[in-house]
Homo-oligomer: A and B are copies of this chain.
């Protein structure tokens, strides 16, 4: 697995396959930036128990990615689409330079489609 793909990204992909407890701990730790102690207090369990749940949840997310590889696939697609976005901007630039409105219009349509995919 690409190490750049972090737990929070894997959580976006596979979080819903975790148990409710695992889901909540990852969510509090990675998305809401709570500390282990804060989560322990919130959930009325020990800091060690939170740590164990967190580790197990992280392992499960990594296991899902090892099996399915969908996060890497999406990540690579997204990178390629951003490359395309830059190339389209070059086309718009040249289109303006040579004053070719048809090309600018089509290129802008491409950028709208890209935005729908990425955001």
Contacts and interface: CB of A to CB of B under 8 A. Distances in A.
A90 interface: yes
Contacts of A114: 80, 84
How many copies altogether? 2
> What bracket does the count of chain A residues touching chain B fall in?
20 to 34
A77 interface: yes
A100 interface: yes
Chain A interface SS verdict (over half)? helix
A70 B74 CA distance: 9
A68 B106 CA distance: 34
A78 to B, nearest CB: 9
B98 A68 contact: no
Contact of A110 (B67, B88, B109): B88
Interface string A74-118: 101100110110011011001100101011001101100110110
